[in-house]
């Protein structure tokens, strides 16, 4: 049986992996040249890292949404800045475009993870739905109170 927290973590991690693992259509078709897909890589990595960190902190550690958002953004931003620092030190080509794509990826990943969290756990301050939307037994939403058996 999978409870709502495990469902949240599993869903966010699967979606984050899907973002990172998608090949660039422009790169695959050779439409924009060899470097076109390289600019999309920071977006995918940042989105996956931000969403994965949010999912782990909200689902496994049961931290509040605000803390999970900060942790997701911080972890992803730190990784992007560290990567650009290494590039600046001579291990690659530093690029402001990469940092911009990192920022966009952070927003995309956190928006995705937060949306899944709202759908799974409800909208209340502690992940419960408001009284008007609660399940008949008084707790959470019908989705967040359900379990899935495999």
pLDDT over threshold 90, residue 26:
no
Q: What is the pTM of this model?
A: 0.67
pLDDT digits (tens, 9 = 90+) for 34-56: 455 566 788 888 998 999 899 88
If DSSP states are collapsed to H, E and C, what string results for the chain? CECHHHHHHHHHHHHHHHHHHCCCHHHHHCCCCCCHHHHHHHHHHHHHHHHHHHHHHHHHCCCCHHHHHHHHHHHHHHHHHHHHHHHHHHHCCCCHHHHHHHHHHHHHHHHHHHHHHHHHHCCCCCCCCCHHHCCCCCCCCHHHHCCECC
Query: Is 150 part of a structural domain of the chain?
Result: no
> Which residues span the domain enclosing 140?
4-145
Query: Is 88 part of a structural domain of the chain?
Result: yes
pLDDT at 123: 78
Number of domains the chain is built from: 1
Query: Is 20 part of a structural domain of the chain?
Result: yes
pLDDT at 34: 45
Q: Choose from 17-21, 51-55, 58-62, 134-138 the range with maximum mean pLDDT.
A: 51-55
Least confident of 22-26, 39-43, 69-73, 87-91: 22-26
Query: Is 47 part of a structural domain of the chain?
Result: yes
């Amino acid at each position: 049986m999978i409870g709502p927290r495990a469902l949240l973590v599993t869903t966010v991690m699967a979606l984050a992996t899907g973002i990172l693992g998608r090949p660039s259509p422009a790169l695959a078709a050779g439409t924009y040249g060899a470097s076109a897909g390289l600019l999309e890589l920071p977006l995918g990595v940042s989105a996956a890292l931000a969403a994965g960190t949010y999912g782990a902190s909200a689902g496994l550690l049961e931290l509040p949404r605000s803390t999970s958002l900060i942790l997701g953004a911080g972890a992803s931003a730190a990784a992007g800045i560290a990567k650009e620092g290494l590039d600046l030190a001579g291990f690659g080509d530093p690029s402001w475009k990469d940092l911009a794509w990192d920022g966009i990826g952070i927003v995309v990943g956190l928006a995705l993870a937060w949306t899944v969290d709202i759908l799974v756990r409800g909208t209340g301050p502690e992940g419960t739905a408001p009284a008007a939307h609660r399940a008949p037994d008084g707790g959470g939403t019908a989705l967040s109170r359900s379990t899935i058996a495999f």
